[in-house]
Amino acid sequence: METLELYNYWVFSILLMIGFYAVTAKLNLVKKLIGLSLFQSAVFLLYISMGPVEGGTAPIFHENASDKLLSNPLPSVLILTAIVVGISTLALGLAIIVRIKEAYGSIEENEIRELDRK
């Protein structure tokens, strides 16, 4: 049971690496960006796993349950920001890809490199 409770962090590591692999090894630019957002999403799991307390609930006060144990609000706050950063990066990245497609006629990294060499 002890090790099972580190499962979250292991999954975080695996997801992070799947994303990292896609970013570095894939040649298609859209696929790279999908990998990049996987990579970022993995970090959300790392932070959110620090939040909950045994027997606690989401950190919202209720009228009739004021003595209830509340979980840590801070990781949630930080990850809300990180999610917003992620979608902003994605939007900008996709806009650049659209322009690359128009300028090069391709969104494959190796083909673009070939065109630049000419």
Partner 1 sequence: MSSEAYHLAVLQVVVPLLSAPLIILLRPRGLAWAAATAASAMAFAVAVMLTAGVLSGIEYRYAVGGWPAPYGIEIRVDALTSVALLVVSGASLLALFAGRRSLDGDIDEARQPLFYGAWMLALAGLCGIVVSADAFNIFVFMEVSSLASYVLIAAGPNRRALAATFKYLVMGTIGATFYLIGVGLIYMMTGTLNLADMAQRISEVADQRPILAAGGFIIVGLALKAAVLPLHAWLPNAYTYAPHIVTVFLAACATKVQIYVMLRFDFLVFQGNLTDHDLQFSRFLMPLALLAIVLASGVAMMERNLKRLLAYSSVAQIGYIMLGTSLLSAAGLSAGIIHIFNHALAKGALFLAVAGLGMHYQGLRLDQLAGAAKRMPWTMAAFVLAGLSLIGLPGTAGFVSKWLLISAALAEGSLGIVLVAVVLLGSLMAVVYVWRVVEAAYFRAPQQAVADQREAPPMLLAATWAAVLANIYFGLQPGLPVQLSQAAAASLLQSLP
Partner 2 sequence: MTVFTVFFIIFLLTLLVITALAIVQTKNLFAAAMLSGIFSLLSAMVFFLLDAADVALTEAAVGAGISTVLFLGALALTAEHERAGTAGRLAALGVVTVIAALLVYATFDMPRLGDPNAPAQLHVAPWYLEKTPEYIDVPNVVTAVLASFRGYDTLGETFVVFTAGIGVLFLLGKAPVGQPKVSPAMTFAGKAGLRHYQIPRVVGRLLIPFILLFALYVQFHGDFSPGGGFQAGVIVAASVVLYALLEGEEQARLALPAGLLKLMIAAGPLLYGLTGVACMLLGGNFLDYSALAHDPVHGQHYGILIIEAGVGITVTGVLISIFHSFAARGAK
Residues 16-75 that bind partner 2 (CB under 8 A): 16-22, 24-28, 30-31, 34-35, 37-38, 41, 44-45, 48-62, 69-75
Report residue 32: phi and psi, to 5°. Answer: -60, -45
* Residue among 58 and 87 whose Cβ is closer to partner 1: 87
93 binds partner 1 (CB under 8 A): yes
Q: Report the alpha-carbon distance of residue 12 to residue 24 in Å, rounded.
A: 18
95 binds partner 2 (CB under 8 A): yes
Q: Report the alpha-carbon distance of residue 80 to residue 46 in Å, rounded.
A: 13
CB 23 → partner 1: shortest distance, Å? Answer: 6
20 binds partner 1 (CB under 8 A): yes
Q: Report the alpha-carbon distance of residue 97 to residue 78 in Å, rounded.
A: 29
96 binds partner 1 (CB under 8 A): yes
- Name the one residue in this structure whose structure tokens are 């580190």: 6
